[in-house]
């Protein structure tokens, strides 16, 4: 359903009665702002062995995806909202080899105190379009150490009502015999996995638990439980176990080499009756300096070391492992992390006796690259300003590696940043030169830290974790590069100057360059702000209305201020970690909020004064200034939404049932001259969701919906668009940037340079030579 024009117009002119209409039926059309390259870690990729073309990828913070025939991916858990945000952490995935539309997930984000709730098994009978949930009696850690081992969830290929799940945290092995509806502890399996990364924090000290469950399909007959089941456990002692009686009794697989390494993958080659295992001395996904690849010949019980690199000279562990189910003896394995000069992947055609690599030294510093590199789907995956001698292209954090069971030419692997793969894998064997292509279109996994839509500029500038941030010329066009010169891995904050919107500031970490940079062309080009150095801790930023003063709130330490790029000095009167904003009209005015109190600076951010306490609020979550009225500001707190028209000297609390607010933004009003629309994550009448109000908080409409929940409300970043009525941007924590299509927006006309694509259900219609508009088709 598209935006309800009639209702919106009536609401805008105040003709509809009623204070709170959180159940209003308007539905916005949501689309991802396209970046095309994933942008985060893909710990697992699983092909269904029985249904051609059925494959899934799981992410650690942004849910699961299903592969489409055109190589794009469809997100499967966009329904996740504030109530079940942790369901975006996918610790394991299983696709049913018998009833191939059935799909299972183990979900939950953290096993420590960061996530209060137990995990769940989600099950689907329609390939992930709809889900049912069984809550487990323990937590699941989709974003915990060791999230790339697996899969720790598996469906019995001979009796698909049977499913096993290997838990973390010492909770052992669990089994369902009713398609995942109910679960019970397999008490005969006593090896729960004692390994944890280190004792420095509750995050790293929780045992990673069971790594994988692999059925030996060849040991059974259709319709009866599979007798032989292998289980890998994250333990530095004995770590591979098997049952020969359908899970009734278990024993260590004797002869397993005991080097103290952890078994990351246990992949069966049924045609060879052989189990292949990759080992690393760390749980991953970042670590690993030693390891082996072994095979266990099920027929003979013989273990063989088939490591591509001898242990004495290895400097990585092994992660991703794949067999070609159609071709016995074809095996591939990846170093979990080979940080220098680039990731290594090997392929063997003789069951691991000999290997060839994806690149090889040819007399240092020469390298033979046995691939051509195609990142046309996401050119920004390579920094085109980099002068690195050995560009990292193959990747890092490779735990997911898979060969299509129906197409020996088709392979995929996940990295810390994207999914690569291709359709000419057999060329590895013929000419030893494959096409390595970024194949993550549709996966939008970025964690978004800031969004602005500076008037007169591009529709959107984004600050994102790990992938820098982008100048989005067009919401449907993949950016060619992320922000450069300076280049930051993570951009923590971004802001524009209200009176000179082409002036932009951003902040992010750099080991060599200033952590703050400035642009005067809407973020197209940048220069380092030498007010900062590489040791200045980055964080949120606010740029004064005329663009000459930068307020920086580092992620640790006191706030800092710099005018005319003079060295940053400490701000007085504003607590560390306060939220900050600049007045968008008055160059000397800045705002801050912390612990329920509001702070204003009238001296260009040099000093702040606490003006008021916002009622009984104990937190200030966001501050936004009106784009063109000096002193007109809004603050969201843990008690609701507050408005001031005198630069924060006094505030009015917005009533109408709004009892909490997080990130929000102002966007263009339906009618010229009307006050902007406010969009944001609020609790209204007890419902926490994305809302808008067209009348400054008298009436509210929920604009998130059952299919678009945006995960945790408190983690999201929202902003409006002052040029396009109805457009709001939502930056998520793991599902990229979402935007509403802008139903009333201009889409063409002489001299127009903005976006030209209308939402689905709308088409761009010429009004006159100077103005084309999106109208409902
Ligand atoms: C959030 O999702 C849950 C689970 O699907 C659902 O019951 C609830 O209605 C949703 N909440 C909102 C505000 O949409
Ligand atoms: C499950 O069984 C294992 C092994 O017997 C045991 O260590 C673990 O505590 C059990 N977990 C739960 C949640 O009962
Ligand atoms: C397993 O052992 C048998 C008997 O020695 C041998 O013929 C077969 O090739 C072995 N399989 C693999 C994959 O090494
Ligand atoms: C890897 O571990 C093995 C077994 O402990 C050891 O013999 C070998 O020297 C290690 N390799 C390196 C490069 O340290
Ligand atoms: C593989 O093909 C690419 C693209 O043609 C080429 O750049 C590369 O040098 C080739 N690799 C080798 C080792 O010939
Ligand atoms: C990098 O890409 C940007 C954006 O496409 C382009 O403007 C710039 O010229 C490129 N720089 C280099 C050094 O290739
Ligand atoms: C900007 O704010 C300062 C400090 O409150 C005030 O003195 C000044 O008059 C304001 N300037 C304008 C143009 O409103």
pLDDT 10s digits, 331-389: 999 999 999 999 999 999 999 999 999 999 999 999 999 999 999 999 999 999 999 99
pLDDT band (50, 70, 90) for residue 760: low
Asked whether residue 17 carries a pLDDT value surpassing 80, the answer given is no
pLDDT band (50, 70, 90) for residue 745: low
Find out whether the beta carbon of 190 lies less than 6 Å from any atom of ligand 2: yes
Closest by CA to 583, choosing from 617, 618, 543, 640, is 543
Q: Do residues 696 and 679 make contact, with C-beta atoms less than 8 angstroms apart?
A: no
Which ligand lies nearest the alpha carbon of 168? 2
Domain boundaries, the chain: 448-740
Give the whole-angstrom CA distance, residue 56 versus residue 43. 11
Structure tokens at 583: 């007045």
Which ligand lies nearest the alpha carbon of 295? 3
pLDDT, residue 770, reads: 81
Q: Write 507-514 long-range contacts (CB < 8 A, 24+).
A: 507/532, 507/538, 507/539, 507/540, 507/541, 507/552, 508/463, 508/468, 508/469, 508/538, 509/538, 510/486, 510/534, 513/486, 513/487, 514/486
pLDDT, residue 758, reads: 67
pLDDT 10s digits, 593-628: 999 999 999 999 999 999 999 999 999 999 999 999
Give me the residues paired with residue 570 across strands. 560
Which ligand lies nearest the alpha carbon of 274? 3
Q: Do residues 517 and 493 make contact, with C-beta atoms less than 8 angstroms apart?
A: no
Residue 456 CA, ligand 1 centroid: distance in Å = 37
Residue 384 CA, ligand 6 centroid: distance in Å = 6
**Mean pLDDT for the stretch of residues 470-476:** 95
Find out whether the beta carbon of 602 lies less than 6 Å from any atom of ligand 7: yes
Residue nearest to atom 2 of ligand 5 (CA): 372
Find out whether the beta carbon of 746 lies less than 6 Å from any atom of ligand 7: no
pLDDT, residue 552, reads: 99
Per-position b or e across 292-320, b if 16+ CB within 10 A of its CB: bbbbbebeeeebbebbbbeeeebebbbbb
Asked whether residue 329 carries a pLDDT value surpassing 80, the answer given is yes
pLDDT 10s digits, 143-163: 999 999 999 999 999 999 999
Of 762 and 417, the structure prediction assigns the larger pLDDT to 417
Residue nearest to atom 1 of ligand 6 (CA): 384
Give the whole-angstrom CA distance, residue 347 versus residue 408. 13
What count of other Cβ atoms lies within 10 Å of the Cβ of residue 576?
14
**Mean pLDDT for the stretch of residues 232-256:** 98
pLDDT, residue 3, reads: 26
Torsion angle of the four alpha carbons 768, 771, 776, 777, in this order, in degrees rounded to the nearest 10: 50
pLDDT, residue 29, reads: 82
pLDDT 10s digits, 161-196: 999 999 999 999 999 999 999 999 999 999 999 999
Q: In what order do the strands lie in the sheet with 30-32?
A: 30-32, 737-740, 728-731, 717-720
Residue 586 CA, ligand 7 centroid: distance in Å = 6
Give the whole-angstrom CA distance, residue 380 versus residue 767. 36
* Cα-Cα-Cα-Cα dihedral sign, residues 373, 375, 376, 382: negative
pLDDT band (50, 70, 90) for residue 218: very high
> What is the atom index within ligand 6 of the atom nearest the CA of 385?
13
Spatial neighbors of 128 by CB under 8 A, at least 6 apart, are 56, 64, 66, 76, 77, 103
What count of other Cβ atoms lies within 10 Å of the Cβ of residue 249?
11
Asked whether residue 2 carries a pLDDT value surpassing 50, the answer given is no
pLDDT band (50, 70, 90) for residue 670: confident
Spatial neighbors of 174 by CB under 8 A, at least 6 apart, are 136, 164, 165, 166, 167, 183, 184, 185, 186
Best mutation site among 269, 274, 348 for ligand 3, i.e. most ligand atoms within 8 A of its Cβ? 274
Which ligand lies nearest the alpha carbon of 384? 6
Find out whether the beta carbon of 757 lies less than 6 Å from any atom of ligand 1: no
Find out whether the beta carbon of 188 lies less than 6 Å from any atom of ligand 2: no
Residue 184 CA, ligand 2 centroid: distance in Å = 10
pLDDT, residue 5, reads: 28
pLDDT 10s digits, 18-48: 333 333 333 478 999 999 999 999 999 999 9
Q: Do residues 447 and 455 make contact, with C-beta atoms less than 8 angstroms apart?
A: no
Give the whole-angstrom CA distance, residue 5 versus residue 677. 15
Residue nearest to atom 4 of ligand 3 (CA): 300
Kind plus residue range of the DSSP H or E element containing 430 = helix 427-430
Residue 234 CA, ligand 3 centroid: distance in Å = 27
pLDDT band (50, 70, 90) for residue 752: confident
pLDDT band (50, 70, 90) for residue 671: confident
pLDDT 10s digits, 694-721: 999 999 999 999 999 999 999 999 999 9
Find out whether the beta carbon of 495 lies less than 6 Å from any atom of ligand 3: no
Find out whether the beta carbon of 351 lies less than 6 Å from any atom of ligand 3: yes
The CATH code for residues 448-740 is 2.130.10.10
Residue 176 CA, ligand 6 centroid: distance in Å = 54
pLDDT 10s digits, 107-146: 999 999 999 999 999 999 999 999 999 999 999 999 999 9
Asked whether residue 1 carries a pLDDT value surpassing 80, the answer given is no
Give the whole-angstrom CA distance, residue 162 versus residue 226. 9
> What is the atom index within ligand 1 of the atom nearest the CA of 687?
13
Spatial neighbors of 647 by CB under 8 A, at least 6 apart, are 583, 586, 589, 591, 600, 602, 630, 631, 633
Structure tokens at 655: 């009533």
pLDDT, residue 26, reads: 37
pLDDT, residue 743, reads: 54
466 is catalytic: yes
pLDDT band (50, 70, 90) for residue 771: confident
Find out whether the beta carbon of 137 lies less than 6 Å from any atom of ligand 2: yes
Q: Look at the block and give the residue holding tokens 């990673």.
A: 208
Q: How far is CA 344 from the centre of its chain?
A: 24
Mean model confidence pLDDT for the chain: 94
pLDDT, residue 759, reads: 59
Asked whether residue 296 carries a pLDDT value surpassing 60, the answer given is yes
Q: Which of 383, 407, 466, 685 is catalytic?
A: 466
Residue nearest to atom 9 of ligand 5 (CA): 369
Residues with Cβ within 6 A of ligand 6? 384-385, 480-481
Strand boundaries in 103-233, DSSP class E: 103-107, 120-124, 132-135, 153-155, 163-166, 173-176, 184-185, 210-215, 229-233
Output phi, psi for 301, to 5 deg.
75, 15
pLDDT, residue 22, reads: 34
Of 167 and 4, the structure prediction assigns the larger pLDDT to 167
């Amino acid at each position: 359903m598209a935006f309800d024009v009639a209702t919106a117009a009536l609401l805008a002119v105040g003709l509809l009665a009623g204070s709170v209409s959180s159940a209003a039926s308007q539905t916005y059309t949501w689309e991802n702002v396209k970046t095309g390259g994933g942008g985060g870690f893909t710990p697992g990729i699983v092909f269904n062995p029985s249904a051609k073309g059925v494959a899934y990828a799981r992410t650690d913070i942004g849910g699961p995806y299903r592969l489409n025939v055109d190589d794009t991916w469809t997100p499967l858990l966009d329904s996740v909202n504030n109530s079940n945000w942790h369901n975006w952490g996918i610790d394991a995935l299983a696709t049913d080899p018998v009833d191939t539309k059935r799909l299972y997930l183990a979900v939950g984000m953290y096993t420590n105190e960061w996530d209060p709730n137990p995990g769940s098994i989600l099950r689907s009978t329609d390939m992930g379009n709809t889900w049912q949930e069984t809550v487990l009696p323990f937590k699941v850690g989709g974003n915990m150490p060791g999230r790339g081992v697996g899969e720790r969830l598996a469906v019995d290929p001979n009796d698909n009502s049977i499913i096993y799940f290997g838990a973390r945290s010492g909770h052992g092995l669990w089994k369902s015999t009713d398609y995942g509806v109910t679960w019970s502890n397999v008490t005969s399996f006593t090896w729960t996995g004692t390994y944890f990364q280190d004792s420095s924090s509750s995050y790293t000290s929780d045992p990673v638990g069971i790594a994988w469950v692999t059925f030996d399909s060849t040991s059974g007959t259709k319709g009866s439980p599979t007798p032989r089941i292998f289980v890998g456990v994250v333990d530095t002692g004995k770590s591979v176990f098997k049952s020969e009686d359908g899970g009734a009794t278990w024993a260590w697989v004797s002869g397993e080499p005991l080097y103290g390494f952890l078994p990351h993958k246990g992949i069966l080659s049924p045609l060879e009756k052989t189990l292949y295992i990759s080992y690393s001395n760390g749980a991953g996904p970042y670590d690993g300096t030693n390891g082996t690849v072994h095979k266990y010949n099920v027929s003979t019980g013989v273990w063989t070391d088939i490591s591509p690199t001898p242990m004495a000279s290895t400097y990585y562990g092994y992660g991703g492992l794949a067999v070609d189910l159609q071709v016995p003896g074809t095996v591939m394995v990846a170093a979990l992390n080979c940080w220098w000069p680039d990731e290594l992947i090997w392929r063997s055609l003789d069951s691991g006796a000999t290997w060839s690599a994806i690149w090889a030294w040819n007399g240092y510093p020469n390298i033979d690259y046995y691939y051509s590199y195609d990142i046309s789907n996401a050119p920004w995956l390579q920094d085109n300003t980099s002068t690195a001698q050995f560009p990292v292209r193959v990747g890092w954090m490779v735990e997911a590696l898979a060969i299509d069971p129906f197409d020996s030419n088709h392979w995929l692997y996940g990295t810390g940043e994207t999914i690569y793969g291709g359709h000419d894998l057999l060329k590895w064997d013929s000419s030893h030169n494959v096409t390595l292509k970024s194949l993550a279109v549709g996966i939008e996994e970025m964690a978004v830290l800031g969004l602005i839509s500076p008037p007169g500029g591009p529709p959107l500038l984004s600050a994102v974790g790990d992938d820098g941030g982008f100048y989005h010329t067009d919401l449907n066009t993949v950016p060619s590069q992320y922000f450069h010169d300076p280049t930051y891995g993570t951009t923590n904050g971004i802001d524009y100057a209200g009176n000179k919107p082409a002036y932009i500031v951003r902040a992010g970490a750099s080991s060599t360059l200033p952590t703050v940079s400035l642009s005067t062309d809407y973020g197209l080009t940048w220069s380092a702000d030498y007010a900062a150095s590489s040791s200045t801790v980055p964080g949120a930023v606010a740029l004064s209305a005329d663009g000459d003063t930068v307020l920086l709130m580092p992620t640790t330490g006191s706030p800092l201020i710099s005018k005319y790029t003079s060295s940053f000095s400490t701000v007085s009167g504003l607590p560390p970690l306060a939220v900050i904003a600049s007045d968008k009209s008055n160059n000397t005015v800045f705002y801050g909020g912390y612990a329920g109190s509001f702070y204003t600076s009238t001296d260009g951010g040099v000093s702040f004064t606490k003006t008021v306490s916002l009622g009984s609020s104990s937190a200030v979550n966001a501050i936004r200034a009106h784009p063109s009225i000096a002193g007109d500001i809004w603050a969201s707190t843990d008690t609701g939404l507050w408005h001031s028209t005198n630069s924060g000297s006094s505030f009015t609390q917005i009533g109408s049932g709004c009892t909490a607010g997080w990130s929000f933004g102002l966007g263009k009003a339906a009618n010229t001259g009307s006050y902007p629309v406010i969009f944001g994550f609020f609790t209204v009448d007890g419902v926490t969701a994305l809302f808008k109000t067209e009348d400054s908080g008298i009436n509210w409409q929920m604009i998130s919906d059952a299919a678009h929940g945006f995960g945790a409300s408190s983690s999201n970043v929202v902003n409006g668009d002052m040029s396009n009525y109805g457009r709001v941007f939502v930056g998520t924590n793991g599902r990229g940037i979402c935007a509403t299509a802008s139903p009333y927006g201009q889409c063409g006309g002489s001299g127009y340079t903005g976006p030209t694509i209308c939402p689905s259900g709308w088409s761009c219609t010429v009004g006159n030579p100077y103005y084309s508009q999106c109208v409902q088709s």
